[in-house]
A and B are shown apart, each in its own frame.
Chain A
Amino acid sequence: MSRERDKSQSWDWESRQCRAQLDEIFFRQHDYIQTGSAEHREFWTFFERFQRFTAKRDMSGSKSSRQESHEKKANKKSGSVDLGLPKDYDARYRINVSVCSKDVEERLGRSDHKKRRETSGPGRQEITDCRIALLHFLDFNQKQSFSKLAKLRKEQKSLPIFQYRDKIVELVRTHPVVVVAGDTGCGKSTQVPQYLMTSGFNYIACTQPRRIACISLAKRVSFESLNQFGSKVGYQIRFETSRTTATKLLFLTEGLLLRQIQQDASLGQYQVLIVDEVHERHLHCDFLLGVLRSLLPLRPDLRLVLMSATINIKLFSNYFNGAPVLQVPGRLFPIQVFYQPIPPEEQGSRSEKLDPRPYLRVLQGIDQRYLPEERGDLLLFLSGVAEISTIQDACQTYATHTQRWIVLPLHSTLSLAQQDKVFDIAPPGVRKCIISTNIAETSVTIDGVRFVVDSGKVKEMSFDPKAKMQRLQEFWISRASSEQRKGRAGRTGPGICYRLYSESDYDAFAPYPVPEIHRVALDSLVLQMKSMGVGDPRSFVFIDPPPASSIQTAVTYLREQGALDEHGELTPIGRLLAQLPVDVVIGKMLVLGSVFKLVEPVLTVAAALSVQSPFLRSAQHNPDCSTARQPLQSNQGDPFTLLNTFNAWVQVKKDRGSGSRKWCRRRGLEEQRLYEMVNLRRQFKELLRTHSLLEDDSGSRTGPQDRAQRRERRTERQKLHKLKRDHDFQENTKRKVLRLEEGLEGDGSSGSDEERTASNKRKKDEQTVDIQEVKFKLRHNVNELQEAANASADLSSRQQSLLKLVLCRGLYPQLATPDEHNATRKDSEQVFHTRNKQGVVIHPTSVFASDPEVLQVSEQESSADKGQSNRHQLLAFVTLLETNKPYVSNCVRVPALQALLLVANSVDTNADCTRVVVDGWLELGLTDGDMALKVLSSAITLRGEWERLLQAQLGQGGPGSRGGLVGPKPSRRDLDKLCEGLVRFLLYTEVSYSLRRLTGLQSQNLYIGPQQNTDLSSSSALGFLFPGMKTEPDPIKGGLRVSHFFTYNCLCDSMDLYSECLRTFWSCPHCDLYMPLTPLERMQHEATCRPEEEQQPEEDSESAQTSASSSSGLTRVYHCDLCNKDLTLTSTEILKHKRQHLS
């Protein structure tokens, strides 16, 4: 080949034109490899290498090949069959591919004649060279792909579970339920679904407790099942799915499968269900097992596979009628365990900081015993974030000194970028020291760990039903957790585990962790059970039933929240709340917000309160971040700060696209949370729309101009889709090597580092595609979002107060009142009280922690008259969590009197309504009796109307709903009027009152109790004044029950027993009524007497439609003794009628 090359000296392989000429022969538009493709570029790179290689070989190897041909001739005699192999070896004979196109053959044929004439074009030799190179290139690619395949198959075969492959398939074929138990590394999660898929099962669903696992497993399994670029294997999580009609194996979260059962109780879409990690005993998983257990008899064709670690397997097998268990050994390297209990002098008391000495000793010990060249990282398990930061500081000092460690914290409140660092690689001679919560026990798996230090402690969330409070407490771990932690040291090689407790401690540990269902509030679970119609939650057969009291607490709570009626059935609002994947309080906000024109801000707030806070804790002490955050903060409350932040972010997104990343960094915001918010917000919006709580606005955007816009958007989407595909393709991006200073920078407590690490990262970030931005653009229309953001930015004070009311009613009964002595306390020592928990404090992340004055009644105002003021405020809060102190977080402030009268479940008064007790714990003292009456009666009127419109908006009144107000949707005008009324009530109620908590003794002796000798005639005489409400003596509190929340004159205040009967002259501002009335009569008149201007004729036609309900609701049969007639009249009419006789 090379001999001929010098003939065509004009040919230059390096030249672009020369290559282009060959491209036209070999890499045309329809050829296997096309000009311009990535492979085409690879070919030319390969070509250069190949040329160098052949040139070298030709020089050195020409002799030996000649010798060889001699030998062969000699050998041939002994061979039995002539294989007819060519005598001279040529690498070409090793390739089983050929390229023959007409063009190539023609060129080769004719080039002899034309070569001299067309000296510039490729000659026969060039074409041959190129063809040979191409063949080698094709062969090379084949070999590469095949070796990938072979490696993959080899890895699959080497997994411990591989030997059980046939057994598993056989068991699943013959049994409805099979339990596969295997320890870490046995390969069950990736292999079992594949075994079933390849043996002919279709429509397999595999649940995972964590979203991230769904994605990574789908990715891995689709690769292993050679379907990396197809959609046979997919995942589905809350906001994302890769599922298509071709999907045969789907990884999804437990919660999502439950939601699917809610839609389709028989789960007809699946043939096999695999429930993975059942031993983790998450709330959803336990419930899912219960649901599936009752589904099995209805679906005899359904196959259920439970996969678990080798923990408590019998429990699962027994629960499913003795289902067969297949136990698979794990693949762990041996791990040496050292018990090193902490000596008493280093244990410290509960209040003190953790003593770092035992931990430092382990680091020192490793440095002394093992050469730095012997790789292996350290994973340290501590109970919580505060503990981590203490030990991190100490270890960092040691690391700075020895230069042999990089200290990295790991917990869920870190930014994702910081969490991600634990997967990066330490430079040679340096080890990573990862200090983690139990997140690294199951959720996060880090390879390369050789040493584990186990503190034996964990902080677990529990629910205190008495204080209605979540509690984060430190406990000893279980033996199962202890083993799991130890196992983290033996994933990639033999390891060592240091347990900082004694062996006898270990023996005393509980065998398993407490399942979630025994620890948490069951509100959402019970609600979901109700909506799925699985029967009475108290008799549902759980694998490990929760205490009956837990369920009862949840039922009571849901009843208080209006989600269940008195019979324990779902109310219309409850049915809707069950559809929403959020806390009941957040769901209530959404529903309430949709009734008013507050959908956009409420959607944002509800979404923001359902995800982790985007404000990074570590940035809080960074002065730059604080300054940058300042404009976002609202002293109305944290939900408003979140609302501002979201709106500002959307604006940045619109203006600068992926520049939002920088914007977030500057403010110490985790952008991922904002992406989650925008996704959740959209889901909420769709849910409200499907329940017709939101008008469909999609139809409004049409027109010729929009068509162009749509086309533009379509091409943009195509581009984005490509970007996303490309991103997905470059999976397993290579891990960075950490720098020794990394640990120092990551130190969360020293504030300003955040920006520094950020600036290091920035360069890298800007080069890569921001995949979040791409997904965001694919999913959302930024213009629409921005309109929505505009709608909720710059709220007028009226809208703001209405929004606060909506939030407050949603969050009710989660209210806290400031302690009366707060004004004299330091900012950091402000104390609050909830109904069930005294002495709570505001979480330092809340805006009120730094600005508590806005909650206080100013000195001058309050001192005037024993705490009398019209500016008392309460806090409505989202969470009450006790860690070292009970903290309330995500708070909003609301005007006390107005909010309480509008949302509280129980409002009790004395006879002249100057003393009002709310929910049995807050007392409002009003001095002006007239004003008190006025305020109370407007509250009652407003609430009645609000309730009516809410029920109407929710559509059909369910069996349990009051009044049967089935009717048309509330008119815009009614809603506007209600808004107006509420706003006026909230903003312009000028009444001074005192606000105080009742003492325990006071609240015990609050009520007069049922009166034996109640003047029945007087109560029935009063009765007619309460239209549509049953007015009857309250059997427990005494007094009169006027509405479901209001009881009149039941307070035992002894000061004035007769005021109930005292009539004073009063003139109604709306009608001409002027007569002596008791306070109650007056209130009742006000409840029904409407200003004349409101009684317009149009309304009559509307009310005519609902005449059935209105007549029953508003009028009653009245027997007038004077006329001796039965009259059907409204109560106002009755009063007027009575007045006739008087005059």
Chain B
Amino acid sequence: MDLNEGSALGVFRCKLCELSSPYTFYGQKPPNTRAIVLLEECYGMKDPFSPDREKFLVLGSKCSLCSKTVCVGPDCSLFYTKRFCLPCVRDNIHQFPEQIQAELVKKKTIQKTSS
């Protein structure tokens, strides 16, 4: 009955926000997905919100600069050809295109006003 759930390889935990969840695959190839390839080594699981057992969900990966494990949430990391945790993005903000810079500024102000 529960074959679709696979067995967890371990628990993924984001080093920044501490979000955690068991993961069932690690790598660039989610199981049973044919043509889909991930462009980074990812921690992932079966998408828990989809009834379809083939659907996967990427939880996070390692920052290409500092190798910290981070989740894919927009408050922790971003992907721009590679995965960067937000602290690394901030450190190298000027190498990123303006769109991303603007986004980050916006995010900061939202965080400030909300907290």
Binding site for B on A (CB under 8 A): 30-32, 39, 64, 68, 71-72, 75-76, 78-83, 85-86, 88-89, 93-101, 104, 138, 142-143, 145-150, 153, 226-232, 244-246, 725, 729
B35 touches A142 (CB 8 A): no
CB-nearest residue of chain B relative to A245? B1
Q: Smallest CB–CB gap between B48 and chain A, Å? A: 4
CB-nearest residue of chain A relative to B19? A153
Q: Smallest CB–CB gap between B27 and chain A, Å? A: 13
A142 touches B81 (CB 8 A): no
Q: Smallest CB–CB gap between B1 and chain A, Å? A: 5
Kindly state whether residue B58 has any CB partner on chain A within 8 Å: yes
Residues of B within 8 A of A64 (CB): 98
A94 touches B79 (CB 8 A): yes
Q: A145-B49, A153-B19 are in contact. Are A32 and B35 (CB under 8 A)?
A: yes
Give Cα distance in the complex from A93 to B97, angstroms: 11
A150 touches B73 (CB 8 A): yes
A226 touches B34 (CB 8 A): no
A85 touches B80 (CB 8 A): yes
Give Cα distance in the complex from A6 to B34, angstroms: 33
B94 touches A75 (CB 8 A): yes
A230 touches B95 (CB 8 A): no
A97 touches B38 (CB 8 A): yes
Give Cα distance in the complex from A72 to B17, angstroms: 31
B21 touches A146 (CB 8 A): no
Contact of A100 among B37, B53, B65 (CB under 8 A): B37
CB-nearest residue of chain B relative to A67? B98
Residues of A within 8 A of B96 (CB): 85
Question: Interface residues of B, CB < 8 Å — how many?
Answer: 51
Contact of B48 among A32, A79, A149, A150 (CB under 8 A): A149
Residues of A within 8 A of B54 (CB): 32
Jot down 17 A-B pairs with beta carbons below 8 A, ordered by A.
Answer: A68-B99, A75-B94, A75-B95, A83-B82, A83-B92, A83-B95, A96-B40, A100-B35, A104-B35, A145-B48, A146-B71, A146-B72, A149-B48, A150-B19, A229-B50, A232-B5, A729-B51
A71 touches B98 (CB 8 A): yes
B21 touches A99 (CB 8 A): no
CB-nearest residue of chain A relative to B91? A80
Give me 12 other A-B pairs in contact (C-beta within 8 A), A138-B36, A146-B59, A150-B19 excluded.
A72-B97, A72-B98, A83-B92, A89-B97, A96-B38, A96-B72, A99-B35, A99-B37, A153-B21, A230-B1, A232-B2, A246-B1
Residues of B within 8 A of A86 (CB): 81
Residues of B within 8 A of A232 (CB): 2, 5
Give Cα distance in the complex from A89 to B80, angstroms: 9
A31 touches B34 (CB 8 A): yes
Q: A145-B57, A146-B72 are in contact. Are A76 and B38 (CB under 8 A)?
A: no
CB-nearest residue of chain B relative to A88? B97
Interface residues of B in 46-74 (CB under 8 A from A): 47-55, 57-59, 61, 65, 71-73
A31 touches B79 (CB 8 A): no
Residues of B within 8 A of A32 (CB): 33-36, 54-55
A146 touches B58 (CB 8 A): yes
Q: Smallest CB–CB gap between B86 and chain A, Å? A: 14
B80 touches A94 (CB 8 A): yes
CB-nearest residue of chain B relative to A87? B97
Give Cα distance in the complex from A729 to B52, angstroms: 12
B99 touches A89 (CB 8 A): yes
CB-nearest residue of chain B relative to A248? B2
Residues of B within 8 A of A147 (CB): 73
List of 9 A-B pairs having minimum Cβ-Cβ separation, nearest first: A226-B48, A89-B97, A101-B35, A246-B2, A75-B94, A68-B98, A96-B79, A98-B37, A96-B39
Give Cα distance in the complex from A88 to B72, angstroms: 23
Q: A71-B98, A142-B58 are in contact. Are A231 and B38 (CB under 8 A)?
A: no
Kindly state whether residue B78 has any CB partner on chain A within 8 Å: yes
Contact of A79 among B57, B95, B98 (CB under 8 A): B95
Contact of A30 among B34, B40, B52 (CB under 8 A): B34
B57 touches A85 (CB 8 A): no
CB-nearest residue of chain A relative to B98? A68
Contact of B21 among A39, A72, A149 (CB under 8 A): A149
Give Cα distance in the complex from A226 to B95, angstroms: 38
B98 touches A89 (CB 8 A): yes
CB-nearest residue of chain A relative to B80? A93
Kindly state whether residue B85 has any CB partner on chain A within 8 Å: no
Kindly state whether residue B4 has any CB partner on chain A within 8 Å: yes
Q: Smallest CB–CB gap between A780 and chain B, Å? A: 24
Q: Smallest CB–CB gap between A308 and chain B, Å? A: 29
Residues of B within 8 A of A729 (CB): 51
CB-nearest residue of chain A relative to B89? A83
CB-nearest residue of chain A relative to B20? A153
Residues of B within 8 A of A246 (CB): 1-2
B5 touches A146 (CB 8 A): no
Q: Smallest CB–CB gap between B40 and chain A, Å? A: 5
Residues of A within 8 A of B39 (CB): 95-98
Residues of A within 8 A of B71 (CB): 146, 150
Q: A96-B79, A142-B72 are in contact. Are A82 and B95 (CB under 8 A)?
A: yes
B21 touches A226 (CB 8 A): yes
Residues of A within 8 A of B48 (CB): 145, 149, 226-229
B58 touches A148 (CB 8 A): no
Give Cα distance in the complex from A948 to B79, angstroms: 84
Give Cα distance in the complex from A142 to B30, angstroms: 13
B73 touches A81 (CB 8 A): no
A244 touches B38 (CB 8 A): no
Give Cα distance in the complex from A86 to B82, angstroms: 11
Residues of A within 8 A of B78 (CB): 94
A148 touches B51 (CB 8 A): no
A85 touches B72 (CB 8 A): no
Give Cα distance in the complex from A31 to B55, angstroms: 11
Give Cα distance in the complex from A232 to B40, angstroms: 31
Residues of A within 8 A of B61 (CB): 96
B37 touches A79 (CB 8 A): no
Give Cα distance in the complex from A729 to B51, angstroms: 8
A76 touches B95 (CB 8 A): yes
Contact of B1 among A82, A138, A153, A244 (CB under 8 A): A244
CB-nearest residue of chain B relative to A728? B51
A97 touches B2 (CB 8 A): no
B5 touches A230 (CB 8 A): yes
CB-nearest residue of chain B relative to A74? B94
Give Cα distance in the complex from A149 to B19, angstroms: 9
Q: Smallest CB–CB gap between A912 and chain B, Å? A: 74
Q: A32-B35, A75-B95, A95-B79 are in contact. Are A149 and B42 (CB under 8 A)?
A: no
Residues of A within 8 A of B37 (CB): 97-100
CB-nearest residue of chain B relative to A69? B97
CB-nearest residue of chain A relative to B47? A145
Q: A32-B54, A226-B48, A229-B51 are in contact. Are A85 and B98 (CB under 8 A)?
A: no
Give Cα distance in the complex from A991 to B98, angstroms: 107
Q: A81-B92, A86-B81, A246-B2 are in contact. Are A148 and B49 (CB under 8 A)?
A: yes
Q: Smallest CB–CB gap between B110 and chain A, Å? A: 15
Q: Smallest CB–CB gap between A1003 and chain B, Å? A: 65
Give Cα distance in the complex from A71 to B65, angstroms: 23
Residues of B within 8 A of A104 (CB): 35
B5 touches A96 (CB 8 A): no
Give Cα distance in the complex from A94 to B38, angstroms: 12
Contact of B73 among A30, A31, A88, A146 (CB under 8 A): A146
Residues of B within 8 A of A231 (CB): 1-2
B1 touches A96 (CB 8 A): no
Residues of A within 8 A of B45 (CB): 226
Residues of B within 8 A of A245 (CB): 1
Residues of B within 8 A of A146 (CB): 57-59, 71-73
Q: Smallest CB–CB gap between B56 and chain A, Å? A: 9
Q: Find the residue from A31, A145, A147, A227 having the highest chain B CB count within 10 A.
A: A145
Q: Smallest CB–CB gap between B39 and chain A, Å? A: 5
Residues of A within 8 A of B65 (CB): 81, 83
Contact of B57 among A39, A142, A230 (CB under 8 A): A142
Contact of A244 among B2, B72, B79 (CB under 8 A): B2
A227 touches B57 (CB 8 A): no
Q: A89-B99, A97-B37, A100-B35 are in contact. Are A78 and B58 (CB under 8 A)?
A: no
